[in-house]
Structure 1
Amino acid sequence: MEPLVFFAVLAAALLHAVWNALVKGGKDKRLNMAGVVIGHLPIAVPMLAFVPAPDPAAYPYLIAGMALHFGYQWFLLGSYKIGDLTQVYPIARGVAPLLVAAVSVLGLGVDLSGMEILAVVTIAAGILSISLVRGADGLRNGKATVMALTTGCFIASYSLVDGMGARVAGTALGYYAWLGIANSLIFIVFMAATTPQVLRDLPTKGLKVFFVGGAASFIAYSLVMWAFTKSPIALVTALRETSIIFALLIGVLLMNERLSLGKVLSTMITLIGVILLRASRN
């Protein structure tokens, strides 16, 4: 992985942790999730004037991506309603790189070196192990665990679909601008049908998450989409999930979640995986 791609994905990881913390930290999580998703529009719409439209061959990927992103957002929201950030986030994000790597190697014929596979597995192990060092209510919250695992499956699925779609589209930013707009509109319709009060509260109570969370989310995944066209999807996905380190720091420093020796050790394992990935060569 080239240095520019490597550090771009790390920046995306930080931004990803920021918007997840905004969703989890607010009282009205449905309002916060709506703010993040609909908050893509102020960037995505103007972007259409500056980026090429995706090749029509990418339309099936766009349609599939819309459905998968909506499923991810729905299950993530459900997970955050019943589980802590430091329980839900590690499970959801730790499962994804393992699934993406397995499908890439076994199903898509992607050639990863032994060092790269070891890096992906180490990163995933470090991320997942954070959820295993939960205290009193950690793994006893079985429903949150199941929701988080399902969320991880959606993450893996949309990562593969978007990665292939961006390559077929010939423009990562054009592809994601279209996807971001479509996803926002779908979420608006869904909120209008199920919780119209959320849309009424968004211009007042949800402005912070709309602008900050929406921008962080859109920029983060734009960087990831670009990286998908430069490096194997499995490696980009694994590195992106190091956002757990940033999420852990946010949870401890800003959300009063407890830090334990186990979480520190889990973070060190994740960092070792990052070092291995940075040291690997295609």
Structure 2
Amino acid sequence: MVPGGALALVLAAALVHALWNVLFARGGRGIGVLAVTNAAGFVAWAPVALGRWSIEAAVWPYLLAGAAFQIYYLLVLNRAYARAPAHTVYPLARGLGPVLVLVVAVAVGARVPGWAVVAVGSISVGVWLTVTGSVDRRVLGAAFPVAVSLAGFPFVAAYGLRHADPATYLWLSTLPVTVGTLVAGRSELRAALRPMTVVTGVGMVAAGGLTMAALAMVEPSQVPAVAALRETGILFVVPLSWLLDRTFARRAAMGAVLVFVGVVLLAAG
């Protein structure tokens, strides 16, 4: 059972994560936007990370792996949102994460209970509803890599957080992607510097910080439940998208709800 404090943190992370994704999807494209977003989050989180500074030498392999996931995630997320709106990409990518975890479990010989099969079925139908009718099916190819990073990062972080404070761990794991995008997008920084881009970056790091704090409160065996519970952001992103863009199809909303039901079943088990 996930502790109450971790549950509250991960639900707050889901809401903030959904909000910044909606803003990010509506923002501009390009490496300059990524650079400003990352830099805003990095600077905003610096006082928290430095104020709580605590790190051991054993954390570095996990930090390097986490940094690789950060870079990979932002690149494929930017590509996915260039192809389709947030209310279709978001449920698809977030919903596939728990499914990938389950597939890996089956591949290594784990016994899959009936409720897990029902959960995967609900997620699969929800994903199908999200993709069909309102967006080109090629979005599946763009969202799948996002799901891979979403499934892998929490497991790496859960072990790395044994050797560092959550705030410190998050800040250091975002350093490589922040520096890399700033260097690559230096010619586009002025054009990309807008209030929405800065707010998106702050929301990105805030959601990550809340998730890191939740992961630090649980055992590694509870990481799948935390990862699944964070997918409640699927429900948050639908009304947020509707408030900003009332043109998306009801099928997408229905799909998001089904994905959410499947995720809850995975977490409850």
TM-score, normalised to structure 2's length? Answer: 0.84
Residue identity opposite 1:97 in structure 2 = P
Alignment of 1:74-223 (within 5 A): 74-103=75-104, 117=116, 121=120, 124-125=123-124, 128-132=127-131, 134-135=132-133, 137-138=134-135, 140-142=136-138, 144-167=139-162, 169-192=163-186, 196-197=187-188, 199-203=189-193, 206-210=194-198, 212-223=199-210
| Structure 2 runs not aligned, ≥5 long | none
Distance 2:116 2:18 in 1: 24
**Counterpart in the other structure of 1:245:** 235
Deviation at 1:70, TM superposition (A): 0.6
**Which one of 252, 258, 264 corresponds to residue 269 of structure 1?**
258
**Is this contact kept in 2: 1:120–1:238, CA < 8 A?**
no
Q: Structure 1's 49 and 217: CA in aligned 2 closer, same or farther, altered over 3 A?
A: same
Deviation at 1:62, TM superposition (A): 0.8
Distance 2:29 2:39 in 1: 15
| Structure 1 runs not aligned, ≥5 long | none
Q: Structure 1's 127 and 163: CA in aligned 2 closer, same or farther, altered over 3 A?
A: farther
CA RMSD of aligned residues (A): 3.0
Distance 2:45 2:217 in 1: 22
Distance 2:122 2:40 in 1: 30
Distance 1:183 1:33 in 2: 9
Deviation at 1:222, TM superposition (A): 1.0
**Is this contact kept in 2: 1:97–1:120, CA < 8 A?**
no
Deviation at 1:73, TM superposition (A): 0.5
Distance 1:28 1:252 in 2: 21
Residue identity opposite 2:21 in structure 1 = N
**Counterpart in the other structure of 2:225:** 235
Distance 1:244 1:24 in 2: 15
Distance 1:174 1:270 in 2: 33
Deviation at 1:122, TM superposition (A): 6.8
**Is this contact kept in 2: 1:94–1:241, CA < 8 A?**
yes
The runs of at least 4 aligned residues of structure 1 exceeding 6 Å deviation read none
Residue identity opposite 1:93 in structure 2 = R
Cα deviations by residue, 1:181-223 (Å, 9 ceiling, x for unpaired)? 333122212323xxx22x12244xx23321x212211111111
**Is this contact kept in 2: 1:97–1:234, CA < 8 A?**
yes
Distance 1:27 1:92 in 2: 20
**Counterpart in the other structure of 1:25:** 26
TM-score, normalised to structure 1's length? Answer: 0.80
- Calculate percent identity across the aligned residue pairs: 26
Q: Structure 1's 115 and 186: CA in aligned 2 closer, same or farther, altered over 3 A?
A: farther
**Is this contact kept in 2: 1:19–1:216, CA < 8 A?**
yes
Deviation at 1:9, TM superposition (A): 1.0
**Is this contact kept in 1: 2:63–2:173, CA < 8 A?**
yes
Distance 2:56 2:157 in 1: 14
Q: Structure 1's 99 and 274: CA in aligned 2 closer, same or farther, altered over 3 A?
A: closer
**Is this contact kept in 1: 2:32–2:182, CA < 8 A?**
no
